[in-house]
């Protein structure tokens, strides 16, 4: 892809995210799944959402690369500064029959590879609707390819996160590498991060690994069955 085209795509990516945020927390993508109305909306900063996201972060803390003292105040600041005021990131809440049951997000556009990251996808652990998250991910990835005009979507997850890897596989993701990782302290505030094992740490046996994954539109469409959905505004 030529440099001028890459710059146009980068502008498209950020322009699309900005437009969605300016539009506010309205219906963005509608999916009909198993007789249920599923809707994706921009994340909001309401007390209900802040409390919900804080609880999810606590419940799934072992599946995030970073860990820290989780609080509603930090979640509220994260939504405001790291999401809504960040031109490179967007987070959607997933609603089923008007109930907030999960989220899905995008970040880190890379103009060198015309790619971005599927940042987070998670579901309220008490909500059950088999196959829903696979369908949501497929529709969301297709929107990313079609409307953000990117060539490739990347991501990473813990190798022991079998459920998420199974969903990714059904969507058409491939594993490009498996990386040994170790937990490191970031500062004196009990913040930690899982990082690639230092090449000099030959005597350290890794406790966990990251699967590095990626997907192209071609691979997604091989697995994109008949899904009833609508993008309300892009």
| 3-class DSSP string for 91-148 | EEEEEECCEEEEEEEEEEEECCCCEEEEEEEEECCCCCCCCHHHHHHHHHHHHHHHHH
- Does 232 reside within a domain? no
Mean pLDDT for 138-143 is: 98
Structure tokens at 184: 């490191």
pLDDT at 4: 43
Q: CA-CA distance, 19 to 146, in Å (whole number)?
A: 16
Q: What is the pLDDT of residues 160-214, one digit of tens each?
A: 999 999 999 999 999 999 999 999 988 767 899 999 997 665 667 888 999 999 9
Q: What is the pLDDT of residues 97-130, one digit of tens each?
A: 999 999 999 999 999 999 999 999 999 999 999 9
- Does 108 reside within a domain? yes
What single DSSP character describes residue 223? T
* Residue partners of 11: CB distance under 8 A and separation at least 6: none
Q: Residue holding tokens 């459920």?
A: 163
- Does 133 reside within a domain? yes
Q: Which domain holds residue 17?
A: 3-226
pLDDT at 186: 83
Number of Cβ atoms within 10 Å of the Cβ of 118: 24
pLDDT at 107: 97
pLDDT at 220: 98
pLDDT at 3: 47
pLDDT at 198: 75
- Does 160 reside within a domain? yes
In this prediction, residue 9 has a pLDDT band, given cuts at 50, 70 and 90, of low
Would the pTM count as exceeding 0.85?
yes
- Does 231 reside within a domain? no
- Does 103 reside within a domain? yes
Q: Is the pLDDT of residue 1 over 80?
A: no
H helices of the chain, in order, are: 3-23, 47-59, 72-77, 132-148, 162-171, 217-222
Angle subtended at Cα 70 by Cα 64 and Cα 76, rounded to the nearest 5 degrees:
100
- Does 233 reside within a domain? no
Number of domains in the chain: 1
pLDDT at 80: 97
3-class SS of residue 64: coil
Residue 206 CA, chain-centre distance (Å), reads: 25
Q: CA-CA distance, 225 to 138, in Å (whole number)?
A: 9
3-class SS of residue 166: helix
Q: What is the pLDDT of residues 209-233, one digit of tens each?
A: 999 999 999 999 999 989 999 998 6
- Does 177 reside within a domain? yes
Q: What is the CATH number of the domain that holds 173?
A: 3.40.630.30
pLDDT at 178: 97
Q: If you compute the radius of gyration of the chain from its CA atoms, what whole number of angstroms results?
A: 18
Q: What is the pLDDT of residues 45-99, one digit of tens each?
A: 999 999 999 999 999 999 999 999 999 999 999 999 999 999 999 999 999 999 9
User: Does residue 122 contact residue 60 with C-beta atoms inside 8 Å?
Assistant: yes
3-class SS of residue 18: helix
């Amino acid at each position: 892809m030529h440099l001028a085209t890459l710059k146009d795509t980068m502008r498209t990516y950020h322009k699309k995210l900005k437009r969605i945020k300016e539009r506010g927390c309205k219906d963005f993508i509608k999916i009909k799944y198993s007789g249920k109305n599923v809707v994706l909306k921009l994340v909001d900063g309401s007390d209900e959402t802040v409390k919900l996201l804080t609880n999810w972060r606590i419940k799934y803390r072992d599946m995030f690369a970073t860990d820290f003292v989780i609080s509603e105040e930090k979640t509220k600041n994260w939504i405001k500064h790291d999401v809504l005021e960040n031109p490179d990131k967007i987070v959607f809440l997933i609603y089923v029959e008007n109930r907030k049951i999960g989220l899905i997000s995008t970040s880190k556009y890379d103009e060198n590879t015309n790619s971005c990251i599927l940042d987070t996808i998670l579901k309220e652990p008490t909500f059950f609707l088999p196959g829903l998250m696979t369908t949501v991910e497929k529709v969301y990835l297709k929107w990313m390819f079609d409307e953000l005009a990117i060539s490739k979507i990347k991501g990473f997850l813990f190798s022991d996160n079998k459920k998420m890897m199974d969903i990714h596989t059904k969507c058409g993701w491939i594993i490009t590498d498996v990386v040994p990782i170790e937990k490191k302290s970031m500062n004196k505030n009990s913040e930690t991060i899982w990082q690639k094992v230092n090449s000099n740490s030959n005597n350290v046996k890794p406790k966990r690994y990251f699967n590095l994954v990626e997907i192209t539109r071609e691979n997604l469409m091989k697995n994109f069955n008949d899904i009833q959905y609508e993008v309300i505004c892009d």
